[in-house]
Amino acid sequence: MQVAVLASGSKGNSVFVEMDGVRLLVDAGISARRIKKSLAEIAVEIDSLNAVFITHEHSDHVKGLATLCRQYHLPVYTRPDTLSCLLAKEKLPAECLHVIHEQLQLENLSVHTFGLSHDAADPVGYQIDGSRKCTVATDLGFVTGEVQAAIEGSDVLVLEANHDPDLLRRGSYPWPLKQRILGNHGHLSNHDAAWALVHMQQRPAKVFLAHLSEENNRPELAENTVRDILGEQGLSSAEIGLTLTLQDGMVSL
């Protein structure tokens, strides 16, 4: 299995997963040119992708989708309500657009959706199962029982660690935006990301801490918060490989 977070943050998100001979993207929130360039860095041709899965319709998750579809005619899967809300949907080739409900078999992989608490039409995370398991869970206000069950047993987990609440409260964002981020339909804090890991019975070998806020978080703060909470609960953070994702660069395993 190969997983690469091509970009993660408020300016754009995209995750590449290759497993059992199948290659897919979760989200296309950066330009098609940048997706192509990033994939080339790990020796992957963009037209070798089997599918693109969209978590929700916000622009930082779909920004490059129209160009990606027009140039490479890749099949795109998302929930029905998300599909109806896609920006510039009329620019997307109709033959590329497909609906996913709870589960889809994609050659050797089984792709499952799970609901997220976020201010979008029907936001989901993706659980990708084959010989191993990779789960992507970002853009969520809190970890529901459904989310906790979906991430359980992941070999690789892409998990949001968006903000530090104290930094956010002291920061320059207008109060309504702060309320949105802190609310149940906003974004996951470093603290809540750590507790999601604590509550797992079988923890991942690799965790990408994703969607870090540039203003309301710090990479070292996100990592230290997660490691400190794991340690306080008697868990060895050394057993989990934590990697911080980047807004303007790629990280991979």
Q: List, for residues 125-148, the tens digit of each pLDDT value.
A: 999 999 999 999 999 999 999 999
pLDDT of residue 90: 81
From CA 186, how far away is CA 176, in angstroms rounded?
12
15 in Cβ contact with 158 (< 8 Å): yes
Domains located in the chain, CATH noted:
2-252 (3.60.15.10)
From CA 7, how far away is CA 29, in angstroms rounded?
8
Give the predicted TM-score (pTM) of the model.
0.96
User: Is residue 66 pLDDT above 70, yes or no?
Assistant: yes
Share of the chain above pLDDT 70, in %: 100
* Per-chain mean pLDDT for the chain: 95
Residue closest to 195 by CA, chosen among 149, 160, 147, 230: 230
29 in Cβ contact with 61 (< 8 Å): yes
What's the pLDDT band for 234 if we cut at 50, 70, 90?
Answer: confident
DSSP state of 239: G
User: Is residue 253 pLDDT above 90, yes or no?
Assistant: no
User: Is residue 238 pLDDT above 80, yes or no?
Assistant: no
What's the pLDDT band for 237 if we cut at 50, 70, 90?
Answer: low
From CA 154, how far away is CA 140, in angstroms rounded?
18
Residue closest to 57 by CA, chosen among 22, 13, 93: 13
111 in Cβ contact with 126 (< 8 Å): yes
Q: Which two tokens stand for residue 28?
A: 């296309």
User: Is residue 239 pLDDT above 90, yes or no?
Assistant: no
Helix residue spans in the chain (DSSP H): 32-41, 59-62, 65-72, 80-85, 145-151, 165-170, 175-182, 190-198, 219-232
What's the pLDDT band for 215 if we cut at 50, 70, 90?
Answer: very high
Classify residue 105 as exposed, middle or buried by CB count within 10 Å of its CB (0-12, 13-18, 19+).
exposed
Give pLDDT tens digits for 191-204: 999 999 999 999 89
Measured CA angle at 226 (ends 124, 230), to 5 deg = 110
User: Is residue 88 pLDDT above 80, yes or no?
Assistant: no
| First vs last C-alpha separation in the chain | 9
**Sequence-distant (≥ 6) Cβ neighbours of residue 169 within 8 angstroms:** 178
